[in-house]
Amino acid sequence: MSTEGSNPPTIVGGCDFPLWAGVPDGWLRRQGRTRVLVIDDQLTKRQDLFDVASERAPMSPAEHRLNDWMNLEITFLRPPSDYRYEMGSLPTGTFDVSWFDAAIEEALQDTRPIAAVLLDLLFGDESRIEAASGPRFLARLRERLPDVPVLILSNVEETHEVRGIVKEGGRGSGGDASFQDYLPKRVESGLGLMDRLAEKLIAWGHISDPSLCAFSQAMRRLACQMRRVVLGDERIGYQTPGAGSFPKPVVLMGEFGSGKNYIASSLQAMSQRRAAPFNLVNFSGHDAEDFTSTLFGTTEFTGAGQWYDVRPEDGALLAVRAPVATRRAPPGGFYLAKLGVLHLTDIAGQTPGPDCQPLQGTLLIDEIGTAPKMMQTRLLGVFNEGRFTPHLGNVAIPTQRAIDVWFLVTLSPEGRDRMREDLGQRLAQGHRLDIPSLHQREEDVVALALQVLEAGPTDEPQRFFTREGLGELMGFARHAQVRELKGVVQKLAEVTANPPYSGAELKKAASWARLQDTPSAPLGPVDAMAPGGGAKGESSPPASSDALSVLAGWCEARRVDFPAGVRDKSRLRGEGVTVVGGAAAAILSYLELCAIITADSNGYSSTRTWNFFAGDHRKCPAARTRIAHLFMIDDETSLAALRRSEVLLWLARDLAPRRIEVRGLLDRLSRDRDQQSPRSLSRNVGSGLGRDSGE
């Protein structure tokens, strides 16, 4: 809802939070509407807080701003039945625990989520904070709404004593009575109450955000954490004395495909650095040398296409020159043959010249846990010293200042286990954002699908999905991640003529998107691919799956026999290991590769595939070498485990972080499956690894 001429603010503390500004009334606003609950003995209805004459009066300008910008409504806790209040006197009524519990229960009958609670400290004729009802009510509130932010709205002056009493729950009252922030009803000067309330809600409120499809509790909480990160703009010092400081890095933790990169780009877009360069690097398909050059640049060498004249004191790019064999770098300077992404983000990504200033850019490092140990060591040096050394060089730049780059780092649980301990400790000094999996975001699923379909904010879901289709979509989402959901919906739009889409059409699109041979293959993830599971969309996702269930599901999808030898526990020592998320998906990708590599002239050979998977590599030595190369198995422990048939244990521990590269290779191979012979496909696996196949 909006009014003519209204212009909701979006900039707070130098950061941009568009939220719902400009979004018209419709399904999206209804989906994302939240409430602020006011618990106060003097503020019990609209006219007590806003400039309106009655409960039914049109919205005041302040209400319009809150509604237009944040899509929220102010609701008030019902006062006691014997409540009386007249201006100039103290409110009277039975403000006891029984009233509070009953009133809270009534307020929660409204199913719209509560973004924040405003709580008074003194009720009725109370005058001393030591005996106030507010801390007791706060403890009860924490029992009913443990995750909802609470702002203390009071005339009581904010002091250390008051904060201590409320934080501790009052003397002898017990319970958790912590709160998020203090909001005085009156201040001597500065912003009015509603403007101050808006700023507090930006910092603390679990407000929905349409750009993030943040309507579920988990995502609304994450959106709030993101706003607090950019508003705080905190810095930590480099460990080198005198090097200064840099913005606190942000580690985005989440499963593969949960949308970490999208959250990172959204974080940068709302920050004070949104107008500065934003670059991304990842370790997929790079060896350590290639990535060193990509990230840090390369010094001059014969045959380079051009040279970059760099001032070492601050790293500024002075000029770009054609290479000349006799040219030497000026005194105190040097040439680079390639500019690294880190250098471009810091200062070099602008028009060359002596007056260049640091750009204060942002660098997103994707899946840092998959980086080779040598690269992790070099990155740790950057975080500690604020300088970097180009590839083939011996001078760390800048020499007289430290880089000012905001590092955003994505990390999967599997990657965290592979990361250097000291690098993890350094990153732990920054912020951590936990990205929820899709099965924790049920309220967001339809909005995510409509976003992919480029639906308008007023479009109803029924325009794009039948009732059966919506049910299938929700069932599919319980076992998928955001990337997979978006991919299936995108495929649905490509292969289906016109909406609304049915459940059968969604199943067909899902089978194509997942490279299944037949539409009857299970829709669920490999975690849920046990026979009879996953295809119908269970009411809740399984917590885990044993390894044999994953294998059985793959056999069912491929329509191949489940070999009796694999059922023998002595042949599969990994049987019974719990696999979830990326590890289970990695097993599926591994099996696909086994099938392609061991394919004979008649197509897939289940016998040779299972011999290879179960550890009989004597018949497939070249295939074992290719797999080892593909997944960068360079330590004897993993190779020995592969030879001893402990494949599943190895997969669960080491393979999951590589599943994205595996999936990409499978995509490329499958596109040419009809045009190439199995023998050619087998050869191309080796060529797709970026290194010698060993044959």
| Each residue's pLDDT tens digit, 422-462 | 999 999 999 999 999 999 999 999 999 999 999 998 999 99
Distance CA 629, CA 650 (A): 15
Average pLDDT of span 184-190: 75
Does 91 score more than 70 pLDDT?
A: yes
* Candidate ranges 132-146, 244-258, 318-332; pick with highest mean pLDDT: 244-258
Residue 154 binned pLDDT confidence (cut-offs 50, 70, 90): confident
Distance CA 254, CA 497 (A): 35
CATH 3.40.50.300 for the 246-434 domain, yes or no: yes
Distance CA 686, CA 597 (A): 9
| Each residue's pLDDT tens digit, 361-384 | 999 999 888 888 888 899 999 999
| Cis amide linkage into residue 500, ω under 30° from 0 | yes
Average pLDDT of span 130-136: 85
What pLDDT does residue 167 have? 66
Does 287 score more than 50 pLDDT?
A: yes
Distance CA 450, CA 456 (A): 8
The two three-digit tokens of residue 341, written as one number: 């992404």
Does 496 score more than 80 pLDDT?
A: yes
Q: Which has more pLDDT, 329 or 501? A: 501
Q: Which has more pLDDT, 336 or 558? A: 336
Residue 182 binned pLDDT confidence (cut-offs 50, 70, 90): confident
Does 62 score more than 80 pLDDT?
A: yes
Residue 590 binned pLDDT confidence (cut-offs 50, 70, 90): low
Distance CA 291, CA 371 (A): 9
Distance CA 52, CA 48 (A): 8
289-303, 501-515, 562-576: range with lowest mean pLDDT: 562-576
Average pLDDT of span 265-294: 85
| Each residue's pLDDT tens digit, 601-645 | 344 444 554 454 444 444 444 444 444 444 444 444 444 444 433
126-140, 177-191, 229-243: range with lowest mean pLDDT: 177-191
Q: Write out the residue limits of the CATH 3.40.50.300 domain(s) in the chain.
A: 246-434
Residue whose structure tokens are 């102010």: 74
| Mean pLDDT computed over every residue of the chain | 75
Does 119 score more than 60 pLDDT?
A: yes
What pLDDT does residue 307 have? 83
The percent of residues in the chain predicted with pLDDT above 90, rounded, is 44
Distance CA 549, CA 108 (A): 42
Q: Which has more pLDDT, 491 or 431? A: 431
The two three-digit tokens of residue 562, written as one number: 């489940």
Does 521 score more than 60 pLDDT?
A: no
Contacts of 355 (CB under 8 A, 6+ apart): none
CATH 3.40.50.2300 for the 11-212 domain, yes or no: yes
Written as one string, the DSSP assignment of 575-612 is TT-EE-HHHHHHHHHHHHHHHHHT-BTTB--HHHHHHH
What pLDDT does residue 679 have? 39
Q: Write out the residue limits of the CATH 3.40.50.2300 domain(s) in the chain.
A: 11-212
How many residues would you count in the chain? 695
Distance CA 117, CA 36 (A): 6
